[in-house]
Each structure stands twice: as C-alpha cells, then as structure tokens.
C-alpha cells in the first residue's frame, strides 16, 4: 500500500533516530508527536519531520522533536492589561508586606494593639487578594494569547 501523501512512515523515522518504533508510536498516542494510524500503519505528520523529495530511494528525515519547537515568546494582544496588572501586583505586594510589618508591630508594641492588628490584618488580606486576582487574570490572558497562537498555527498548516 502506498504511503499517504505528506506523511512519513514511523519505521523510517525511528530508524533514522535509532529508537524503537514502539517508542515513537507511544509518543504519538501520548500526544508528544503528531501522527496517526492509516490502514494499520503508523505515520507522522510533516510539522514533526521534514521529508526530502530528492531523487533518493529512501526518505531523508530531518528530525525535529515537538519539545524543541515551542516558542515561549507568544505575541500578546493584551500588553496594556499586562502592564496594569504588573502595577497592581506591585501594589498588592506592598500591601502584603506592609500589612505583615504592621501586624508584627502590633504584637511588639503595647499601645494600640487592637488597632494595629486590625489594620495590619486587613492590609495583609487585601494584598493577598490583589495578588491572587492578578494571577488569575494573567492566566486568562495567557490562555487567550496561546489560543490565538494555536489558531494561527492551525491556519498555517
């Protein structure tokens, strides 16, 4: 049976790397490699490997692992939101540490203990809340940016 167009046989890829075919199939099933089974045979998709189309009888494989192709510098559409989150996170950390110092001073000093404990505790908790909310919002922005990048990759494919 002929090889599906644009796909590389797993056996050729495994032989080129000197690894067992079963390892490559396991990585395809785990999602580490991009590939599929066609009529009982396993194949890898072109984004994982480049297949040379020169006049040689065997396929020449330039290997690229999935792990090394990820780029951490995903472009963002939310630079202003990220900038504002950095500022509010900084203020949250100031409240967190300031509240902690205020709390400790309430334990050390004998004058106005209750007032310092209440104000320090409130500042400490508000700082934690601001930091937490900012981290959640950053996670949402990262998800949106990565989803857009995945969409670009899928459209380019």
How many angstroms separate the CA atoms of 11 and 29, rounded? Answer: 15
pLDDT, the chain, mean: 78
Q: Is the pLDDT of residue 72 over 60?
A: no
3-class state of residue 59 by DSSP? coil
For residue 81, give the nearest of 137, 23, 149 by alpha carbon. Answer: 137
The tokens describing 85, both together, are: 């989150």
How many angstroms separate the CA atoms of 19 and 12, rounded? Answer: 10
- Residue 135: per-residue pLDDT: 95
User: How confident is the model over 78-124, as pLDDT tens digits?
Assistant: 888 989 999 999 999 999 999 999 888 887 876 778 888 888 899 99
What is the signed CA dihedral for 154, 155, 156, 157, rounded to 10 degrees?
50
User: How confident is the model over 132-145, as pLDDT tens digits?
Assistant: 999 999 999 988 88
């Amino acid at each position: 049976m002929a090889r599906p167009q644009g796909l590389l046989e797993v056996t050729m890829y495994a032989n080129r790397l000197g690894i067992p075919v079963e390892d490559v199939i396991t990585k395809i099933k785990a999602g580490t490699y991009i590939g599929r089974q066609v009529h009982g045979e396993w194949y890898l998709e072109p984004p994982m490997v480049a297949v040379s189309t020169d006049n040689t009888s065997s396929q020449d494989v330039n290997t690229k692992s999935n792990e090394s192709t990820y780029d951490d510098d995903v472009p963002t559409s939310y630079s202003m939101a990220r900038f504002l989150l950095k500022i509010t996170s900084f203020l949250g950390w100031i409240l967190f540490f300031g509240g902690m110092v205020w709390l400790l001073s309430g334990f050390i000093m004998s004058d106005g203990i209750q007032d310092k404990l209440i104000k320090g505790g409130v500042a400490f908790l508000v700082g934690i809340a601001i930091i937490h909310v900012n981290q959640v919002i950053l996670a949402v922005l990262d998800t949106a940016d990565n989803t857009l990048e995945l969409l670009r990759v899928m459209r380019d494919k």
